[in-house]
């Protein structure tokens, strides 16, 4: 029941964030899908596995989830939407690293992830329209179009979803949508 309520709420956020615009509508649709999968997978992984990592030098499950959350706040800054002050995330990469090093339990990590996706939907809806996709912005110190920045944002999420799927399967956890 909670899962259905969450899915409905996420869909409403995405629908309200994505106006009747072509590209942006599709970005928000894809963003909602990756969001649901990532959150459902984070819930399916037992807390005892949150510190598991694939090997030396790789991120733990918690670190991957907090990395995604931090970038959901950090990437929109270049597009013109500041992160909430409560996150401590600014345009300074050190603030992102500090966010990722938080010691949070499973529930707090999932809550941080959920809040970051809500912010990302709102940030993209507020800063990027189909009409300004070719506008140049500074992104990682380089000239990028808003289109390229949104594509990087979504592909980054898929990259880490794939990482979490591999982590889950290595720990004998089947992603909920694969059952």
What is the per-residue pLDDT across 109-152, written as a single tens digit (0 to 9) for each? 999 999 999 999 999 999 988 899 999 999 988 999 999 999 99
Look up the domain containing 98 and give its range.
2-178
**What is the value of pTM for the model shown?**
0.86
Region 154-166: what's the mean pLDDT? 97
Please list, residue by residue across 24-61, b when 16 or more beta carbons sit within 10 angstroms of its beta carbon and e when fewer do.
bbebbeebbbbbbbbbebbebbeeebbebeeeeeebeb
Q: What is the CATH number of the domain that holds 148?
A: 1.20.120.450
pLDDT digits (tens, 9 = 90+) for 76-89: 999 999 999 999 99
Number of domains in the chain: 1
**DSSP letter (8 states) at residue 178:** G
């Amino acid at each position: 029941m909670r899962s259905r309520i969450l899915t409905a709420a996420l869909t409403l956020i995405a629908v309200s964030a994505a106006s009747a615009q072509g590209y942006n509508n599709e970005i928000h649709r894809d963003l909602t899908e990756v969001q649901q999968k990532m959150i459902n997978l984070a819930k399916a992984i037992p807390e005892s596995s949150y510190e598991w990592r694939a090997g030396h030098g790789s991120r733990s499950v918690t670190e991957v989830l907090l990395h995604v959350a931090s970038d959901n706040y950090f990437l929109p800054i270049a597009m013109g939407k500041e992160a909430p002050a409560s996150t401590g995330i600014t345009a300074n990469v050190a603030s992102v690293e500090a966010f990722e090093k938080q010691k949070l339990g499973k529930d707090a990590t999932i809550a941080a992830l959920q809040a970051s996706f809500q912010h990302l939907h709102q940030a993209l809806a507020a800063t990027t329209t189909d009409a300004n996709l070719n506008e140049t912005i500074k992104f990682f110190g380089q000239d990028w179009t808003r289109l390229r920045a949104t594509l990087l944002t979504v592909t980054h999420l898929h990259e880490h979803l794939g990482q979490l799927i591999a982590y889950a399967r290595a720990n004998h956890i089947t992603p909920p949508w694969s059952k």
